[in-house]
Each structure stands twice: as C-alpha cells, then as structure tokens.
Amino acid sequence: MTVLVKKKPLVFLIIFIILSSTSVAQNLYLEVTGETDSITEILKNYSTLKKFPEASAVLDALGSLKESLYNDGYINHTLINNSKKNDSTFAYQVRLHSKYEYITITFNKNTINPKEVKHISKLVTENEFTIPFQDIEATLDFLTIKVSKNGFPFAQLNLENISAKNKNTLQAELKISNTTEKRKLDAIVVKGYEKFPKSYLRRFLKITPQKSFNIETIKKKLNGLNNLRFAKQIKDPEVLFSKDSTTLYLYLEKTQSNAFDGYLGFSTNEETNTLEFNGFINLDLNNNFNFGESFALHYKSTENEQKTFDVALNLPYLFNTPIGTEFELNILKKDSSFTTVKQSAKVFYQIDTKSRFFLGIDTYTSNSLLKNPVFTTTDDYTTNFYTSKYTFENRNASDLLFPINTYFALEAGLGKRTRDNTGEKQTKLAVTTFHNIKFNAQNSFFVKVSGALLNTKNHLENELFRFGGINSIRGFAEESLLATKFAVINTEYRYRLSKTIYAHSIIDYATLNNTLTQQKNNLYGFGIGFGIITRAGVLKLNYANGKTESQEFEFSNSNIHLSLSSFF
C-alpha cells in the first residue's frame, strides 16, 4: 500500500538545519496544528514538545509524531502548509485522512495453528483473523514466539500486500520466511560441571535432544536448577547453529550440598533440679558420586533416655527412567522399655522439578524389653503399611538463612498390626507443610503446620507418635510428648538484620490426644531466637518456654536450643 506523504515540508526543514549550523545557537519553536479544528483536537492527544535547543531536534519531533500517527491507524496522513513565522518559529499543518481501526490478516494454517490465533483475536476463521490496528506489533511478536517454539528460531514474520478492505479496515497477508528447515536440538554439552548427571537433563529439567528447539523454553526449564541442591547455573545457555545440527551449551557449577547439622539442648529437671543435656546429629550427603543420589544419617539422644538412629538412601532415575527408589532404616530404643525397628522401601516418580509421588511399604517390628511388665500397654508387635506420599518443595538456593520457601508433604498408609497372633487393621496419616511469607527484604513471617494420627482400636505405647523440641513445639524436651494424634502450629516473625543475621519470635501451639492415658491437652510455646551465618555454617539459638493450658508460666520450664548446620 502506498503511503502518501508530501516531502516539501521536510526538505524545507532540512535546508534550514544546514543553514543554521553556521549560526549562533538559539532556541527553536515548533507549532503543529490540524487542517481543521477537529484534527487539532485529535493532535492534542499526542505529546509534542514546543521548544527545542537545536534544529535537528525539531526534525526528530516531527518524525516521532508521524510514527505515532501511523501506529494509531492514520497511515495516509500528510504534513501540509508549512510556514516560517520568524527566525526561530516553524508551523505545520497535518491532514489525517481516514483512520483504520482494524486489520484482517490472511495466514497459512499449516504454519500457524488457528487455536493459537484465538488467544489474540475473537474474529478467527480457517485462514484469516481480525485484530485492532494498534495490536499489529504485539501480534507479530506473539506469533513469532509460537513459530520459534515449533523449531524455527530464525523465522521472520511480515505483512505484505496491504490494501484497504473498507473504510476503517485494512487487509494483508502474513508471510513467514526462514522456515525451510525445522531446527531440532541435536546435542547438549555441559561446561563447568562436565559430570553433571545426564539423567537430570532428561528427567528433572526435561531437556532432551531431538525435540523442537526453542531457547526461551529451555531457559524456563533451567530455572528448575534452583530446586537442585548440588548444581547451579553460572551463565546463560548458548546455542551453536551449524548447517546440519544445533548444539546447546549449558554452563553449570557443582555446589556444596553435603550438610552436617547438630544441636545441643539443655534444661532443668523438675524432679532432681539438675541440668540435663540432649541433642542430635544429622549428616546429609548429596551427589558425591555424580548420580544425584542422597544419603542421610540421623542420630538423636533425648533427656528421657530415648535414642533414635535413622539412615535413608535415595536413588533417582534408575536406568535413566523417571522412576527412583528410597530405602530407610529407623531404630528407636526407649530406655529399658522397648525397641522398634522400621524398614521402608518406596519407589517415586518425579512429576516436575518441585513435586514427587511415592508408593511403598513400611514394616515395623517392636519388642518389649520388660521382663515383668507392670503395664500391658507395651507389647511385641509387627505392622505392615502400604503407603502413598506426595511432596512439594520450592527452594531458594541463593539464601543460606532461608533456603526453602515452601514445603508440603502428605503421607497416608493402610496396614495391619499383628500382636499375639491377632491381626488388627490400622490407618495412619501424616502432614508437614510450611511457607515463608516475605513482606520485604528485611521482614518475613514463617508458618509451619504439622500433624499425624494413627487410627486403630487398641493403641500400644511403643507405637505412639513422639514429638516436641526444636523441630516441633519449642519449649518442650525433645520427643517428650506422646500422642495417638496431634497437630502443631509454629510461627516466627523474622527480621533480617543483614544478609547473614536474623532475629525471630517464637509462638507455637499444639493440640495433643492420647487415648491410652485419656489425655487431651493444649500446649503453648513462647520465646525468641536468632540465626547467623558463620565460617563454620549456620548457627541458630532458640530460647523458648513451654506450658500446658493448666500450667502457670515458670522460667524453670524454659529450654535453650543450639544448632549448627555446616555445608561442605
């Protein structure tokens, strides 16, 4: 389509610029009006400066005005009746002609999917669509991205054969060039961390060769590295296009993902009035064999003479499949009362970079150590549970103080307990979730909800849930609370003093139900704490006081918890 523009006004201004280049610098003025009063009113909607420091700026202003008018549908506008009022003031009149409100674009349905066009237009037929004239640029950008995702990264979209369809609508043909050869991803090369497990490219990040190439999609998938503990991206990906192949280069770095975590707690024994100590050790080893595997060893000793030993092994993507396995062994010994051994085997499927689904079996074997038991609530038993579990974890690897933003885990099991050759059906449910609500760089609010229940006719003491302590309701001794079902809410208002130090409040609440002792109680924990990043790791200190709803507040019920998490 031919755009009618008179060139005399611009030629006149260009001549003036040449002549004024030898004159003394002065302010120049520009007046733009319409051919009619109604056109003048329309031009008031466009920002045009009146005063300019130099002549070239006047020409730039006229060019910007013409571009704005064209983008709004006045494609045949012209500048007319230029005049020079004095040595520094120039006046122009504008003739707008017709304004085109819409444009109908014809396309090839073999290269553009009509379903995709419906996202940008409500008027779509088999081979054409209509959009507002002002949306042309955004529409072409949208369609370029769609074509690029289909394996044509060099595709160029243009409108050709533009003509008037009616008084306010144009028509044009959409032409796509550089689509003769569809690009596929032929190879992936990892730089920096060459031993990065290839199964994680295919299964975790879902980046695979032989798929249609699109760099923007790949960049979004690489954001999934934020949920990996053992690797991070150090540079944007690059692509090498050759005549016959497309090679993607990823720049990764192996990170310190092994962790050692321990704490020391001490409190006053109410009966003996002596100081008692308790604590735990957690060792987590991740990706030491560059397979993406993880191994965890946890040992805990509490002040009530209870010891727990737990080991777990996680092997993802066996034989380069999306299936992984997890094995766990847990041994609990309660003074001279009983021992309980739990063995667990699960298979899991990685849904996406944040979610997993597990299926497995848990086996419990418990033996009473009492030779002449006074109470019958502790007894030998074996239980088999068939379990399913779902986990969601959203990490922030760059923040050592708060590395996990959101976590959710829900596990359910159906089983049968055998005791004295008598079987009894059981069900269990456990949930843990937390989220860190960030208000700004300094202030955030942390809330955690956890709970569990065991549904059976006759409970035994050596199968009850044990909770309380630094990772549960604070202000109580570690695992000093027994329940057939319980729920805990932990809250912290966190204030970050710097990138390495924060302080927080402690307000915890728990509800406890124990059918063995016919106990129902509400528990509260109040206190303060802080965390600091040191050369040795992340050091945390909590001071909390725990009480039941029937107790008075006493400082003797306070607990101090120290923990240190080191990464190597």
End-of-domain residue from the set 239, 254, 269? 254
| Residue 293 domain-assigned (yes or no) | yes
Residue 225 placed within a domain: yes
**Burial of 248 (C-beta count, 10 Å sphere; 0-12/13-18/19+):** buried
Please indicate, yes or no, if residue 3 is contained in any of the structural domains.
no
Same domain? 378 vs 245: no
Identity of residue 238? E
Residue ranges in the chain whose pLDDT is less than 70: 1-26, 47-49, 180, 263-278, 372-376, 556
Summarised one tens digit per residue, pLDDT across range 472-499 is 899 888 888 999 999 999 999 999 999 8
| Residue 409 in tokens | 């885990």
pLDDT of residue 346: 97
Closest CA to 204 of 325, 359, 351, 315: 351
Is residue 182 one of the residues assigned to a domain? no
Say whether both 273 and 159 belong to one domain: no
Written as one string, the DSSP assignment of 74-127 is -TT-EEEEEEE-SSSEEEEEEE------EEEEE--TTTS-HHHHTTT-SEE-SS
| The pLDDT value given to residue 287 | 93
Residue 499 CA to residue 497 CA, distance in Å, equals 7
Instruction: Report the pLDDT value the prediction gives residue 297, as an integer from 0 to 100.
Output: 93
| Among candidate residues 177, 204, 228, the one where a domain is terminated | 177
- Same domain assignment for residues 134 and 155: yes
Residues 318 and 439 in one domain: yes
- Asked whether residue 271 falls in the same domain as residue 416, the answer is yes
Model pLDDT, residue 6: 42
If asked whether residues 129 and 50 sit together in one domain, one would say no
Q: Do 472 and 519 belong together in one domain? A: yes
CATH number, domain of 171, equals: 3.10.20.310
Residue 75 located in a structural domain? yes
CATH (domain of 40): 3.10.20
State whether 339 and 317 are in the same domain.
yes
231 lies in the same domain as 154? no
What gap in Å lies between CA 358 and CA 347, rounded to an integer?
A: 6
Radius of gyration over alpha carbons of the chain, in Å? 36
* pLDDT at residue number 276: 61
Q: Is 486 within the bounds of a domain?
A: yes
Domain boundary among 95, 125, 153: 95
84 and 118 together in one domain: no
CATH number at residue 357: 2.40.160.50
Domain that holds residue 219: 187-254
Check whether residue 116 and residue 79 sit in a common domain: no
Claim to verify: residue 17 and residue 133 sit in the same structural domain: no
The total number of structural domains that make up the chain: 4
Residue 2 lies inside a defined structural domain of this protein:
no
Residues 6+ apart with CB under 8 A from 84: 16, 90, 91
| Interatomic CA distance for residues 457 and 459, integer angstroms | 7
In a domain, 1, yes or no: no
C-alpha distances in Å from residue 216, one per residue of 28, 55, 84, 118, 213: 47, 43, 53, 22, 9
